[in-house]
Structure 1
Amino acid sequence: MTKPITKSFINTLQITILVLIFSSCTNNAKQGILLPTANTISLDADDSRDSVLLKAAHVIPSENQMNALKDEFIAFVHFGPNSFTKLEWGNGMEDPAVFNLKNLDTDQWCRAMKDAGMKKVIITAKHHDGFVLWQSRYTKHGVMSSPFKNGAGDILKELSLSCKKFGIKLGVYLSPADLFQIESKEGLYGNLSPYTKRTIPREVEGRPFENKATFEFEVDDYNEYFLNQLFELLTEYGPVDEVWFDGAHPKRKGGQQYKYRDWKKLITALAPNAVIFGKEGTRWCGNEAGATRDTEWNTIPYAEDPRAMNLFADITGEDVASIDKLMEGKYLHYQPAETNTSIREGWFYRNDDEQQVRNTDDVFDIYERSVGGNSIFLLNIPPNREGRFSEKDVKVLQETGKRIKETYGIDLLKNAEGPVELLDANEDTFLVLDDDKLMLEFKLPKEVKINRFVIQEDIKRHGERVSKHALDAWVNGDWKEVISSTNIGYKRILRFPEVTTNKFRLRILDYRAVPILQNVSAHYYKSRPPVLEMNRTKLGLVNIAPKMADFKWNPHGENASSNLTKGMKIVYTTNGELPTESSLEFKEPFAFANGTVKALAVINNEVGSISEHNFGLLKNKWKVVDNNSSVKEHNGDMLIDENKDTFWQSEKNRSNKQYVTLDLGEENSISAFKYTPPTTVATGMIQKGIIYSSLDGENWKAIENFEFGNLINDPTPRIHKFKNSFSTRYIKLMALEIAGENDSAAIAELDFYK
């Protein structure tokens, strides 16, 4: 019986015929192009998985997107009234006088960016509060009404000049949300004005434009206002290489809609080299923490044609563009991700005392994970109230730039034998990896030591194709796999424990279409032995690891020190002696009741500093038997859970003393105790108190008062040593005074020592 011909069969046949026709051109076949390449390719309802993968492999970046990827490491600058009010989001009704800027040094900004290796800066020309940093013709809510240079200052103009001086590209952030236009009586946002034909730019008497271009759009009042300001930015401060549209909205009004397609027409005409963030140009990575995906495809599925879309939803999931996701779409579109975060806790500057700054390890690690993970690294550096980058921030930028240059400024494959197309550092050459070329060897005249390997696909002409690969090194007369990974795209930085050899082998293990590579290089990062930290579970298992960066804002979950020290060895002692390279090696958590553990890291024959931790009594038998009260989300068990990130907090109560009572499970001799205050809140820190003991939980004896100072400014663990040791099973801690005259007590962790 003859089977009916299905739509899927017809579609597959059509794709096959198209491939045969297109690849019949000898040049196309040689270059691995089986279909016409495009920035956006439509899918058919009956496309098979294979045909979707083939189409995905022929989606390529636009010229502007390619340039954005090549910029790699770029700067964000959040500056405005929030820098003076110390808020993250203003309300739009701030008096412009709060922007009381006395000095401005945009040369210092650009110098620091240049030192870091950044190629572009994007400034918040207008944040959500509606305050503008340039001399706009269309509002008085901005620098023109501030004390800065008696209202004649222009932040954007000065930055534009500094960018030209230091060879930094300029981008502008213009918030669609505008609280000033929402809240003010004469505001244009959501004022229900009719859509009529209007000329952009609107003429303003005494302020003619040098650029005489005009545009006709059918828009309402707010869209006209927005287009007029875009015209100013793109014609009087350029060239502009990126326009950044934030999707965040503190508030909306009147059903206001944005005519993005009109905005895009204006941008395309006036800033043809500008990539547009938040729309079809580049996309948000999905977090503000500097977290990256293990697999970041930039060929993205869309339900609508992105070339005609007005609204673009955030893409936040872990799986962005696997074949299962691609099958859900109707269009495939190339759209690189920007991995954005701030060097400080928050987007705007607050102070240098409390607002923490990322360390160099953290910034360099994000750089390698983002740029080396097929995305763009956008790092915010907020200027202070003196109009400069703070010295802490500048130091981290300089150190990061030094590491990037020292590591990636030298290609250790420079004199290697291998495919010349991949070793010539020429963007116009590439290598088509037919079936007989899926394993590539690189041989050097002498052995080198490496721990970084960089691979780039020829995405400009051929799109993203490789989905799995591995790197081998010739060690002791045999090939040894040193690392494997998933996709490549614009750039993949492989990080692994250092190997010394003169031969490397790259294996392509899986791909969407014929793989086509553009460049490979090998590098060495000089790892530094990290500072170590130790912790213990409630059951008594001790873990030793590189210390996590003390940066609590939007945590990305990565241990930067650990990521940068592949191949590190940790050694330790538990007998009080100093550890040496020959001491016991830490390989897994070990049981330890109480006492001092000392440890150090060894990497590349370099020994790190000694870290030590004095562990108190084991808490596996402890119980909280009583406390005066607990707020729901911070119960008593949290003060003995061996997790300093959780804490007990009592309810507010002025009339009674705050206390907690512990049963240690058995009688112990006590010589000291440690109080760890919470670090995520500044309330409830116990600065004065008293310790009671009991053998039976009924009859109590006051042991000793204690006092801890400066807890709010320095919320670090405090140890109180008792004048005389005592034996007890039950312990009661009663707070007598709370720092800052608060009405509740809080304890992150309590420890007692023999």
Structure 2
Amino acid sequence: MKYISISFFYLILLCKVNGQTNLPKPTKAQLAWHNMEFYLFMHFGPNTFTDLEWGHGNEKEEIFNPAKLDCEQWCRVAKASGAKGIIITAKHHDGFCLWPSKFSKHTVRESKWKDGNGDVLKDLSAACKKYGLNFGVYISPWDRNHPDYGTEKYNDVFVKMMTEIFTNYGPIWELWWDGANGEGPNGKKQIYDWARFKKTVRQLSPNTVIFSDVGPDIRWCGNENGIAGTTNWNTLNTDGFEPGLLAPTTDTLNAGNVNGKYWIPAECDVSIRPGWFYHKAEDDKVKTPEQLFQLYLKSVGRGANLLLNVPPDGNGLITKFDSAALVGFMKLREENFKNKFQFDGISFTKNKRFKYSKKLFDDNNQTFVRVRGSKENRIRLYYKTGAQINCIILKEFIKKGQKINSVKIEYFGWGSDAGIREVKSFSTMGSKRIITFPRINAKHIYITLTSLKAAPVVSEVEAYLIDENLIEK
């Protein structure tokens, strides 16, 4: 009996190790980041006035003069779009600082704007607080202006610049590191001390999430088109990798690693215009609300976050073209996701039976059910009189890790649609999966979790009939 008990103990232990307890899980800060879903990027600096995308670093400071700069206008537009935060390019590759840094002579202090007394970070940080938006900062390690770039001294400079930002403009919700690494004014490239950079941020602001190709908290999605992988794991193996040229392949960044060691979810960056900085010639090339909705389905709808760049113009304002597209985008989301179907019954397999549960449609991401079937792990939606739908939203309870590898959606139809028919199969669920398909008339809908890493935990199931023209293309 003693040997049986010992064997049973080790069997349970083995199941835990292989099944659930060793899965990577998000931190509290990462969970809060997942809930952000959509926020704005602001590329702003000398390039706004020179019509360049990558400045050379030798631009005269006096060219930066946004005479009508209004960060509160940025925040009003962000709120009207449903964005929950703003990330500003505090220092792009040209080295120009949007704050009067003590460690550079290429800053707003040397510009004509406000006679050298302006501070974009101060203004935007205050405006974000006023409008209830999270404030984030992009800072490029590459500096095509600083004389110390390409020497060990520059790593000290970069650390001091980050310290200024966190000390004077916090709290900072997300820090964005660009991995670009080119030559400085002395013709040399810099060896970045990424470990020191990370340690500095952790000491200054432990709750800030750090973005780069490889995190450590948020990863690049592998493209600048705003599109996550159709398979999107929140986990990634990063040992031996660094941001930039030493990052994993773009395919790996797009999909993540199914058995990744670390929780590093994907962020999808894309510009509302062809370029990242403002160019007047692109005023008629702003993405339409419908195009933005498609990007939403392929980013947030695949368990990633959407970072949409909206560049201010030379006056320091978001143009009417961009703001109109953003408001239209918000209107499409509101109109199409406001009428959620109320199920007559929703249940899930537990052992050999379907068990009814309100937790799957209580609009609370903190409640969940464990779906456990004897042969199949399945959720069933029921409508007494049938329902026409073409969109289903599924949410995995990621606080316990990402466990669902693949899913199949089927329905039992009426009349000529009678019988069980497959609607769509797909891989990975994650924090939010939006599935669209041609409209069906269903009495029962079956959501089968066909491949699992561990016992699945589902938080929410929603069904909608959205505009047929907006179905994912």
Q: TM-score, normalised by structure 1?
A: 0.56
| 1:204-243 paired onto structure 2 within 5 Å | 220-243=152-175
Match for 1:116: what amino acid? S
| 1:111-130 paired onto structure 2 within 5 Å | 111-130=76-95
Structure 1, residues 83-102: CA drift from partner, whole Å, max 9, x if none? 00000001111100111221
User: 1:119 offset after TM fit, Å?
Assistant: 1.0
Structure 1, residues 47-79: CA drift from partner, whole Å, max 9, x if none? xxxx5xx47971111222222221111111000
Match for 1:389: what amino acid? I
| 1:703-718 paired onto structure 2 within 5 Å | none
Please give the root-mean-square deviation of Cα atoms over the aligned residues, in Å: 2.7
Structure having the higher strand fraction is 1
Is 1:21 the equivalent of 2:13? Answer: yes
Match for 1:241: what amino acid? W
Match of 1:85 among 50, 69, 82: 50
**2:295 equivalent in structure 1:** 366
Decide whether aligned partners of structure 1 residues 315 and 366 sit closer, same or farther in structure 2, where only a CA change above 3 A counts. farther
**1:335 equivalent in structure 2:** 264
Match for 1:522: what amino acid? A
Q: Whole-Å Cα distance in 2 between the matches of residues 16 and 382 of structure 1?
A: 61
Contact 2:20 2:455 (C-alpha < 8 Å) held by counterparts: no
Contact 1:471 1:507 (C-alpha < 8 Å) held by counterparts: yes
Structure 1, residues 611-661: CA drift from partner, whole Å, max 9, x if none? xxxxxxxxxxxxxxxxxxxxxxxxxxxxxxxxxxxxxxxxxxxxxxxxxxx
Structure 1, residues 567-610: CA drift from partner, whole Å, max 9, x if none? xxxxxxxxxxxxxxxxxxxxxxxxxxxxxxxxxxxxxxxxxxxx
Match for 1:86: what amino acid? D
User: 1:491 offset after TM fit, Å?
Assistant: 1.3
Is 1:290 the equivalent of 2:226? Answer: yes
**1:494 equivalent in structure 2:** 435
Contact 1:284 1:314 (C-alpha < 8 Å) held by counterparts: no
Contact 1:301 1:321 (C-alpha < 8 Å) held by counterparts: no
Q: Whole-Å Cα distance in 2 between the matches of residues 322 and 246 of structure 1?
A: 20
**1:671 equivalent in structure 2:** none
Contact 2:182 2:189 (C-alpha < 8 Å) held by counterparts: no
User: 1:244 offset after TM fit, Å?
Assistant: 0.3
Decide whether aligned partners of structure 1 residues 76 and 310 sit closer, same or farther in structure 2, where only a CA change above 3 A counts. closer
**1:568 equivalent in structure 2:** none
Q: Whole-Å Cα distance in 2 between the matches of residues 353 and 189 of structure 1?
A: 33
User: 1:442 offset after TM fit, Å?
Assistant: 1.8
User: 1:451 offset after TM fit, Å?
Assistant: 1.4
User: 1:310 offset after TM fit, Å?
Assistant: 8.4
Structure 1, residues 538-574: CA drift from partner, whole Å, max 9, x if none? xxxxxxxxxxxxxxxxxxxxxxx6736xxxxxxxxxx
Bigger-Rg structure (1/2): 1
**2:59 equivalent in structure 1:** 94
Match of 1:456 among 377, 383, 395: 395
| 1:169-248 paired onto structure 2 within 5 Å | 169-181=134-146, 187-191=147-151, 220-248=152-180
User: 1:303 offset after TM fit, Å?
Assistant: 4.2
* Larger displacement relative to structure 2 (125-134 or 246-255): 246-255
Higher relative contact order (Cα pairs below 8 Å, separated by 6+ residues): 2
SS in 1 for 2:217: coil
Contact 1:261 1:310 (C-alpha < 8 Å) held by counterparts: no
**2:119 equivalent in structure 1:** 154
User: 1:19 offset after TM fit, Å?
Assistant: 5.9
Match of 2:317 among 383, 388, 392: 388
Q: Whole-Å Cα distance in 2 between the matches of residues 504 and 435 of structure 1?
A: 17
Contact 1:294 1:373 (C-alpha < 8 Å) held by counterparts: yes
**1:599 equivalent in structure 2:** none
Match for 1:422: what amino acid? L
Match for 1:223: what amino acid? N
Equivalenced residue count is 450
Decide whether aligned partners of structure 1 residues 57 and 236 sit closer, same or farther in structure 2, where only a CA change above 3 A counts. same
| 1:717-728 paired onto structure 2 within 5 Å | none
Is 1:266 the equivalent of 2:200? Answer: yes
Q: Whole-Å Cα distance in 2 between the matches of residues 334 and 16 of structure 1?
A: 31
User: 1:277 offset after TM fit, Å?
Assistant: 0.3
Decide whether aligned partners of structure 1 residues 74 and 57 sit closer, same or farther in structure 2, where only a CA change above 3 A counts. farther
Structure 2's unaligned 5+ residue stretches are: 1-6, 348-356
Match of 2:460 among 519, 524, 535: 519
**1:480 equivalent in structure 2:** 421
SS in 1 for 2:280: coil
Q: Whole-Å Cα distance in 2 between the matches of residues 407 and 22 of structure 1?
A: 46
Q: Whole-Å Cα distance in 2 between the matches of residues 441 and 78 of structure 1?
A: 46
Decide whether aligned partners of structure 1 residues 312 and 277 sit closer, same or farther in structure 2, where only a CA change above 3 A counts. farther
Q: Whole-Å Cα distance in 2 between the matches of residues 141 and 121 of structure 1?
A: 24
Contact 1:473 1:501 (C-alpha < 8 Å) held by counterparts: yes
SS in 2 for 1:177: coil
Decide whether aligned partners of structure 1 residues 446 and 271 sit closer, same or farther in structure 2, where only a CA change above 3 A counts. farther
User: 1:302 offset after TM fit, Å?
Assistant: 3.6
Q: Whole-Å Cα distance in 2 between the matches of residues 347 and 255 of structure 1?
A: 24
Contact 1:188 1:221 (C-alpha < 8 Å) held by counterparts: yes
Is 1:356 the equivalent of 2:285? Answer: yes
**1:432 equivalent in structure 2:** 370
Match for 1:318: what amino acid? D
Contact 2:179 2:243 (C-alpha < 8 Å) held by counterparts: no
Q: Whole-Å Cα distance in 2 between the matches of residues 140 and 377 of structure 1?
A: 34
Decide whether aligned partners of structure 1 residues 266 and 514 sit closer, same or farther in structure 2, where only a CA change above 3 A counts. same
Decide whether aligned partners of structure 1 residues 501 and 246 sit closer, same or farther in structure 2, where only a CA change above 3 A counts. same
| 1:628-643 paired onto structure 2 within 5 Å | none
**2:451 equivalent in structure 1:** 510
Is 1:301 the equivalent of 2:237? Answer: yes
Structure 1, residues 245-282: CA drift from partner, whole Å, max 9, x if none? 00122325545322222222222232222110013111
Q: Whole-Å Cα distance in 2 between the matches of residues 226 and 415 of structure 1?
A: 58
User: 1:156 offset after TM fit, Å?
Assistant: 1.2
Structure 1, residues 25-65: CA drift from partner, whole Å, max 9, x if none? xxxxxxxxx23xxxxxxxxxxxxxxx5xx479711112222
Contact 2:20 2:454 (C-alpha < 8 Å) held by counterparts: no
SS in 2 for 1:89: coil
Decide whether aligned partners of structure 1 residues 319 and 135 sit closer, same or farther in structure 2, where only a CA change above 3 A counts. closer
Match for 1:260: what amino acid? W
**1:406 equivalent in structure 2:** 335
Decide whether aligned partners of structure 1 residues 104 and 322 sit closer, same or farther in structure 2, where only a CA change above 3 A counts. closer
